[in-house]
């Protein structure tokens, strides 16, 4: 390896150097970034990391960027917070939220992955970056392309949440609304990537982009005091994040940065788009594609590119996958907000709803340390709550009217 990292086939292990490509030409399996771990072991210590600014770049030796790459945005290092009230609901003793509702700059974990794609766009000399997106990726690509002075072209299913559409257009990105679902948008993007010399974040740059998700895993371990949790619950769309969290934990063990320890990996989906959880529950190792229909739009990928590897990560760890109905998703969004003061988007409702189920099924032990990955902000998907929260009638600006209005409450807490 002439550089610290390069692409390697996940199946036949052929190394191909660094280039904008995500498929092995020998066997057509996906490519993945691999690193010179012996080299990294000599320089990357807990102390070295602790001295660096909080953010994904503190793990830069484990990310596909050149040493001289100058990162300018403080992405990631989001809070890992105890969730004692939610824990009481689940009868858990040690429950944490990894809260990417506050990821900089666009309020979802996709900022992490896009940072990797931007570095590659620079490296390979692309002037236009594109993506197929269920929403959050579109936001992150549009914002970071603006910041990097690159043009962005974002393709989305036509019926996405309005906040995610506005959060893309405001940065000046070209928005292409496609009459179809994500899987159709994605297929179109593969054709465009062949025809134009563009950097497609989740097509020809996919292998690099996906590495950004590892930072969620590094941060969880560091924020637990350089310890691995017993369980993580991760929402799944294409299935990349969950496999990369596992890769991150494995790398930390390999580098001696944490003690080896089994971590059970749990995957969460919405029942209306549950190709991965359905396969896990049915004991299959491959995906049967589905036609998505769920309020959790950010997870609505019916034919997940990393589905097979997500299944492997889950079952290989002794974990499990579950899915929840749209009603359970919205209930869980409200539960998370009312117990912990965290307003997550629908994907967060999926994670919390599935976690509730896993505790109820006894698949997660209450005594163990469990981390729920909350991956995006609730302000992006307010539609999900419309009709759920009753809007009270306005009252006259009179004390008597107020007293009458809150009569039930006042009885309970009279002062």
Q: Six-digit token pair at 202?
A: 């989740």
Query: Considering the rule CB under 6 A, would residue 235 count as an interface residue with ligand PLP?
Result: yes
DSSP β-bridge partners for residue 84: none
C-alpha 169/C-alpha 22 separation (Å) is 28
Q: Interacting stretch for ligand PLP, rule CB under 6 A, among 54-62, 154-162, 238-246, 313-321? A: 238-246
Q: How far is the CB of 114 from ligand PLP (least distance, A)?
A: 11
Total number of residues that touch Zn ion (CB under 5 A): 7
Q: With beta carbons less than 8 A apart as the criterion, state whether 172 and 143 touch.
A: no
9 binds, among Zn ion, ligand PLP, none (CB under 5 to 8 A by kind): Zn ion
Query: Considering the rule CB under 6 A, would residue 217 count as an interface residue with ligand PLP?
Result: no
Q: Which among 136, 150, 325, 164 has a CA at the least distance from the CA of 241? A: 136
User: SS3 for 34?
Assistant: strand
Of 116, 119, 201, 236, the one binding ligand PLP (CB under 6 A) is 236
Of 56, 131, 152, 241, the one binding ligand PLP (CB under 6 A) is 241
- In the bound state with Zn ion, the residue whose beta carbon lies nearer, of 165 and 203, is 203
Of 4, 6, 7, 9, the one binding Zn ion (CB under 5 A) is 9
C-alpha 277/C-alpha 322 separation (Å) is 5
Total number of residues that touch ligand PLP (CB under 6 A): 16
- In the bound state with Zn ion, the residue whose beta carbon lies nearer, of 14 and 369, is 14
- In the bound state with Zn ion, the residue whose beta carbon lies nearer, of 33 and 56, is 33
Q: Which among 286, 282, 271, 190 has a CA at the least distance from the CA of 236? A: 271
C-alpha 324/C-alpha 349 separation (Å) is 9
Query: Considering the rule CB under 6 A, would residue 115 count as an interface residue with ligand PLP?
Result: no
- In the bound state with ligand PLP, the residue whose beta carbon lies nearer, of 4 and 357, is 357
> Phi and psi at residue 94, in whole multiples of 5°?
-140, 90
Q: How far is the CB of 119 from ligand PLP (least distance, A)?
A: 18
Q: How far is the CB of 148 from ligand PLP (least distance, A)?
A: 21
Query: Considering the rule CB under 5 A, would residue 29 count as an interface residue with Zn ion?
Result: yes
Q: How far is the CB of 380 from ligand PLP (least distance, A)?
A: 8
C-alpha 335/C-alpha 409 separation (Å) is 21
Q: Interacting stretch for Zn ion, rule CB under 5 A, among 8-16, 40-48, 116-124, 125-133? A: 8-16
Residue 348 CB partners (closer than 8 Å, separation 6+): 101, 235, 332, 333, 336, 342, 374, 375, 376, 378
DSSP β-bridge partners for residue 324: 270
Of 3, 26, 194, 259, the one binding Zn ion (CB under 5 A) is 26
Q: With beta carbons less than 8 A apart as the criterion, state whether 181 and 157 touch.
A: yes
Query: Considering the rule CB under 6 A, would residue 240 count as an interface residue with ligand PLP?
Result: yes
- In the bound state with ligand PLP, the residue whose beta carbon lies nearer, of 153 and 310, is 310
Of 78, 271, 375, 381, the one binding ligand PLP (CB under 6 A) is 375
DSSP E strand boundaries for 105-163: 128-132, 151-157
Residue 395 CB partners (closer than 8 Å, separation 6+): 401, 402, 405
User: SS3 for 95?
Assistant: strand
Residues in contact with ligand PLP by the rule CB under 6 A: 108, 110, 136, 235-241, 298-299, 345, 347, 375-376
Residues in contact with Zn ion by the rule CB under 5 A: 9, 11-12, 24, 26-27, 29
């Amino acid at each position: 390896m002439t550089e610290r990292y390069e692409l390697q086939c996940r199946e036949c292990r052929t190394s191909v150097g660094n280039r904008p490509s995500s498929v092995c030409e020998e066997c057509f399996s996906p490519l993945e970034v691999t690193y010179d771990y012996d080299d990294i072991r000599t320089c990357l210590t807990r102390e070295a990391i602790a001295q660096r600014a909080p953010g994904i770049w503190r793990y830069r030796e484990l990310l596909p960027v050149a040493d001289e790459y100058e990162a300018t945005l403080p992405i990631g290092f989001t809070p890992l917070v105890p969730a004692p009230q939610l824990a009481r609901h689940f009868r858990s003793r040690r429950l944490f939220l990894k809260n990417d509702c506050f990821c900089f700059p666009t309020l979802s974990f996709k900022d992490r992955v896009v940072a990797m794609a931007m570095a590659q766009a620079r490296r390979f000399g692309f002037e236009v970056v594109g993506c197929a997106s269920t929403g959050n990726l579109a936001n992150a690509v549009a914002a970071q392309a603006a910041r990097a002075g690159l043009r962005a072209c974002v393709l989305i299913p036509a019926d996405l949440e309005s906040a995610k559409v506005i959060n893309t257009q405001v940065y000046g990105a070209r928005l292409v609304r496609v009459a179809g679902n994500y899987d159709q948008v994605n297929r179109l993007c593969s054709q465009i990537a062949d025809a134009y010399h563009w950097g497609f974040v989740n097509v020809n740059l996919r292998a690099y982009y996906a590495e950004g998700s590892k930072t969620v895993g590094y941060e969880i371990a560091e924020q637990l005091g350089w310890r691995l949790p017993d369980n993580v619950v991760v929402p799944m769309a294409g299935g990349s994040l969950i496999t990369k969290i596992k890769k991150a934990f494995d790398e930390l063990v390999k580098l001696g940065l944490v003690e080896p320890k089994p971590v059970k990996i749990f995957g969460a989906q919405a029942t209306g788009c549950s190709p991965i959880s359905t396969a896990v529950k049915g004991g299959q190792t491959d995906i049967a594609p589905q036609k998505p229909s769920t309020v959790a739009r950010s997870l609505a990928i019916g034919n997940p590119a990393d589905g097979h590897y997500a299944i492997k990560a889950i079952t290989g760890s002794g974990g499990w996958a579950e899915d929840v109905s749209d009603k359970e998703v919205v209930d869980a969004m409200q539960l998370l907000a009312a117990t912990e003061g965290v307003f997550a988007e629908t994907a967060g409702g999926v994670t919390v709803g599935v976690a509730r189920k896993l505790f109820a099924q006894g698949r997660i032990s209450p005594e163990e340390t469990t981390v729920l990955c909350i991956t995006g902000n609730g302000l992006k998907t307010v539609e999900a709550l419309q009709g759920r929260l009753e809007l009270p009638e306005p009252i006259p600006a009179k004390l008597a009217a107020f007293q009458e209005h809150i009569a039930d409450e006042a009885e309970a807490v009279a002062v």
